[in-house]
């Protein structure tokens, strides 16, 4: 049995200064890095998810309701979609991108990013390549992105191929993508723990999100 740490959406747009900032996001990125430095030996694998929007339809809105629609964020290939610079990518083995052409909250909707299109080692903000960053249906870039998605590997397939059975989830946001990812992991048959101290949420009161995860079988510690 292998154990994996899953880092959810610790991206610039979800941290202070981003277009959809969650309070405490930048500090959390550093805390996850410190946790990894101290505990990486407890995990066989470390992976991360990214919102990676190309043309997500009504997920973007000029008048968002902050439930089903949101301000533009994490547009593919932009600085906002990059990992926050406080998150050290040293131990991250694979990146899974979600939401290219529709809303996607769970990391289990993500697809494996190409190895030549992810951060490695020390990097400067704004340095991520912009491949696959088409912005409207029917463009050559969007067509290429659809073709690439057909051949991409999903998060569940990757975890199974690495014999992962136990997942620990951290990241942003507790009450949205962290919750959706943890519950989907349970449905997929994994043992799942969410480290609440290494997540931040949008709502002031996260008790309902925590209760929903616990009711679904997630161990929230």
Q: Where are the domains of the chain?
A: 2-220
pLDDT tens for the chain, 221 residues: list them: 899 999 999 999 999 999 999 999 999 999 999 999 999 999 999 999 999 999 998 998 988 888 888 889 999 999 999 999 999 999 999 999 999 999 999 999 999 998 777 654 333 433 343 334 443 334 445 455 555 566 789 999 999 999 999 999 999 999 999 999 999 999 999 999 999 999 999 998 999 999 999 999 999 99
Domain 2-220 coded CATH 3.40.50.300: no
What is the structure's pLDDT at 63? 87
- Compute CA distances 156 → 6, 47, 79, 94, 186, whole Å: 12, 12, 27, 12, 11
* pTM for the model: 0.86
Q: Which residues contact 193 (CB under 8 A, 6 or more apart)?
A: 166, 167, 168, 169, 218, 219, 220, 221
Report the alpha-carbon distance of residue 36 to residue 13 in Å, rounded. Answer: 22
What is the structure's pLDDT at 38? 97
**Beta carbons of 41 and 111 less than 8 angstroms apart:** no
Active site residues: 9, 98, 177
What is the structure's pLDDT at 67? 83
């Amino acid at each position: 049995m292998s154990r994996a740490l899953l880092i959810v959406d610790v991206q610039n747009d979800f941290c202070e200064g981003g277009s959809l900032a969650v309070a405490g996001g930048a500090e959390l990125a550093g805390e996850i890095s410190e946790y990894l430095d101290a505990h990486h030996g407890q995990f066989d694998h470390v992976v991360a998810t990214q919102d990676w929007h190309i043309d997500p339809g009504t997920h973007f809105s000029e008048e968002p309701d902050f439930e089903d629609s949101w301000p533009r964020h994490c547009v593919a290939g932009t600085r906002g979609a990059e990992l926050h610079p406080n998150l050290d990518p040293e131990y991250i083995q694979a990146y899974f991108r979600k939401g290219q052409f529709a809303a996607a909250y769970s990391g289990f909707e993500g697809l494996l990013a190409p190895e030549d299109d992810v951060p490695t080692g020390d990097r400067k903000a704004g340095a991520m390549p912009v491949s696959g960053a088409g912005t409207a249906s029917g463009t050559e870039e969007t067509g290429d992105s659809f073709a690439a998605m057909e051949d991409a590997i999903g998060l569940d397939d990757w975890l199974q191929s690495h014999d992962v059975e136990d997942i620990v989830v951290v990241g942003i946001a507790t009450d949205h993508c962290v919750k959706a990812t943890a519950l989907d992991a349970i449905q997929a048959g994994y043992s799942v723990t969410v480290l609440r101290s290494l997540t931040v949420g949008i709502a002031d009161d996260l008790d309902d999100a925590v209760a929903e995860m616990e009711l679904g079988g997630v161990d929230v510690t």
